[in-house]
């Protein structure tokens, strides 16, 4: 009975003792040394000066240098067409492309010739009459009373005029006969034909759309930011043209399995800014684009889109960096004394792979090439052990298709 009476008190004392033990003799966790934060490994490139050949990229459509409609000047039925009178057919200058029935016009030639012969007979008669009137005038005492009409002077003049009119009518009739054989005004090609043999046409009927094959032209837009990097052909009010140092152009024909390049020359600059694109256009010309050459290049097609690479100016002591190292088109990261340094830059020009820096970098800066994403300036980094640094050796040409790193992690070409 006595033990049961004091059991609750014993349990309370035991519970309190356990609490005091935990409070005053709590276990301490053993502290171990923390792992040091790992450093980002980066690849760098030493920026250096180089002579850089800018290449301007553009595009356009192939258009004929000379183009127009082949039009009939007389009416009649088409009785013959040249074998070359077909879509895509080549023809030579003065080749007869379309023949019209000439019989009506040959009759007009005979009528005009008869009228000319009659006019000449009338003129001969008037000459005889005028000669006789002049002899009769000598026997008349009052010579002033004899009129010019009596002397057949106006009749003789009228007979001469009728001869001239008959000559003109004969020439017109012969010209109409000649116009029944419609000839090519230049060596060219049929773009599209509108008529065929057996059809009856009237004057001013459009027979076909033709163009000359001696050259083709491509109208190329140039960005306003790139105008300072190219020499443009300019013409002045005095008639003089500035054609010195004009750049060469390569036109890329992408129809087919592989791209083929045609040499071209800049020949003119537009006199106004295009209203839609707000860009200036230049015209490049390709000579003899349809002649077979040693390279066996595919002929260009009228209306096809082509790419263009225009030779720009050579920039001396230029600083050129890969587009992949540029973030949001405005800044880069540099490596300096083991930490990252963010540097704002100004880009003067760039293509798909490289950027020409105007301000913000100097020769000898160590540019970080490794994609970093959102990293704060001042972050400690380390160089890659193998190949951690490259020397920038510019290719010397701003070729848009040159191999290069692609921008990522929020970076863009600017």
CATH number of the domain bearing residue 45 = 2.40.420.20
Weakest-pLDDT range from 12-16, 285-289, 309-313: 12-16
Q: Residue 169 sits in which domain range?
A: 102-178
Residue 128 confidence (pLDDT): 81
Q: Would residue 385 count as lying in a domain?
A: yes
Q: Would residue 88 count as lying in a domain?
A: no
**Is the pLDDT score of 36 beyond 60?**
no
φ and ψ at 8, to 5 degrees? Answer: -60, -40
Q: Would residue 338 count as lying in a domain?
A: yes
Give the end of a domain, one of 160, 178, 196: 178
Instruction: Tell me what the mean pLDDT of segment 285-297 comes to.
Output: 85
Q: Is the pTM of this model over 0.85?
A: no
Residue with the bigger pLDDT between 243 and 66: it is 66
Q: Would residue 82 count as lying in a domain?
A: no
Residue 84 confidence (pLDDT): 95
Residue with the bigger pLDDT between 143 and 111: it is 111
φ and ψ at 281, to 5 degrees? Answer: -110, 140
Q: Would residue 279 count as lying in a domain?
A: no
Here the tokens at position 85 are 């009178």
**Is the pLDDT score of 395 beyond 50?**
no
φ and ψ at 356, to 5 degrees? Answer: -95, 115
φ and ψ at 294, to 5 degrees? Answer: -65, -30
Instruction: Tell me what the mean pLDDT of segment 22-27 comes to.
Output: 64
Mean of all residue pLDDT scores within the chain = 83
Give the end of a domain, one of 163, 178, 193: 178
Residue 18 confidence (pLDDT): 73
Percentage, residues of the chain above pLDDT 90: 53
Our count of domains for the chain comes to 2
**Is the pLDDT score of 388 beyond 60?**
no
Q: Which string of b and e fits 59-90 if b means at least 16 CB within 10 Å? A: ebebebbeebebebebbbebeebbeebeeebe
User: 225-274: per-residue pLDDT in tens?
Assistant: 898 898 888 777 776 666 666 788 999 998 877 899 999 999 888 988 88
How far is it, in rounded angstroms, from Cα 251 to Cα 264?
A: 7
User: 178-228: per-residue pLDDT in tens?
Assistant: 999 999 999 999 999 999 999 999 999 999 999 999 999 999 999 988 988
Residue with the bigger pLDDT between 360 and 399: it is 360
Residue 376 confidence (pLDDT): 85
Q: Which residue has the tokens 């040249």?
A: 82
Question: CA separation (Å) from 134 to 121, 131, 146, 171?
Answer: 20, 5, 10, 35
Residues in the chain: 414
Residue with the bigger pLDDT between 211 and 5: it is 211
Instruction: Tell me what the mean pLDDT of segment 63-81 comes to.
Output: 95
Q: Would residue 263 count as lying in a domain?
A: no
**Is the pLDDT score of 374 beyond 70?**
yes
Residue 68 confidence (pLDDT): 94
Q: Would residue 125 count as lying in a domain?
A: yes
Give the end of a domain, one of 178, 198, 215: 178
Q: Would residue 369 count as lying in a domain?
A: yes
């Amino acid at each position: 009975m006595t033990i049961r009476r004091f059991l609750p008190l014993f349990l309370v004392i035991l519970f309190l003792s356990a609490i005091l033990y935990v409070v005053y003799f709590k276990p301490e966790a053993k502290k171990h040394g923390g792992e040091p934060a790992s450093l980002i490994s980066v690849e760098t490139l030493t920026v250096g000066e180089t002579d850089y050949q800018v290449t301007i990229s553009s595009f356009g459509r192939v258009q004929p240098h000379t183009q127009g409609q082949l039009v009939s000047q007389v009416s009649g039925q088409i009785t013959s067409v040249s074998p070359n009178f077909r879509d895509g057919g080549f023809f030579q200058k003065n080749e007869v492309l379309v023949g019209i029935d000439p019989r009506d016009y040959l009759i007009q030639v005979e009528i005009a010739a008869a009228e000319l012969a009659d006019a000449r007979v009338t003129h001969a008669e008037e000459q005889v009459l005028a000669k006789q009137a002049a002899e009769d005038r000598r026997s008349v005492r009052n010579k002033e009373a004899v009129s010019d009409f009596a002397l057949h002077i106006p009749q003789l003049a009228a007979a001469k005029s009728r001869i001239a009119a008959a000559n003109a009518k004969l020439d017109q009739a012969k010209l109409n006969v000649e116009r029944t054989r419609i000839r090519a005004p230049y060596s060219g090609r049929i773009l599209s034909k509108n008529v065929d043999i057996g059809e009856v046409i009237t004057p001013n009927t459009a027979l076909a759309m033709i163009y000359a094959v001696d050259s083709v032209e491509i109208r190329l837009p140039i960005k306003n930011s790139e105008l300072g990097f190219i020499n443009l052909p300019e013409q002045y009010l005095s008639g003089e043209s500035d054609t010195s140092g004009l750049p060469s152009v390569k036109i890329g024909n992408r129809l087919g399995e592989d791209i083929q390049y045609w040499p071209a020359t800049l020949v003119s600059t537009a006199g106004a800014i295009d209203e839609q694109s707000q860009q200036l256009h230049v015209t490049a010309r390709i000579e003899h684009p349809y002649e077979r050459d040693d390279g066996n290049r595919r002929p260009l097609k009228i209306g096809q889109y082509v790419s263009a690479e225009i030779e720009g100016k050579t920039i001396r002591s230029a600083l050129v960096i890969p587009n992949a190292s540029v973030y949001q088109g405005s800044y880069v990261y540099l490596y300096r004394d083991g930490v990252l340094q963010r540097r704002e830059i100004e880009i003067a020009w760039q293509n798909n792979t490289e950027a020409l820096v105007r301000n913000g970098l100097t020769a000898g800066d160590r540019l970080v090439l490794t994609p970093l994403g959102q990293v704060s300036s001042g972050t400690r980094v380390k160089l890659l052990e193998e190949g951690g640094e490259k020397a920038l050796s510019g290719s010397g040409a701003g070729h848009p298709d040159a191999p290069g790193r692609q921008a990522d992690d929020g970076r863009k070409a600017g």
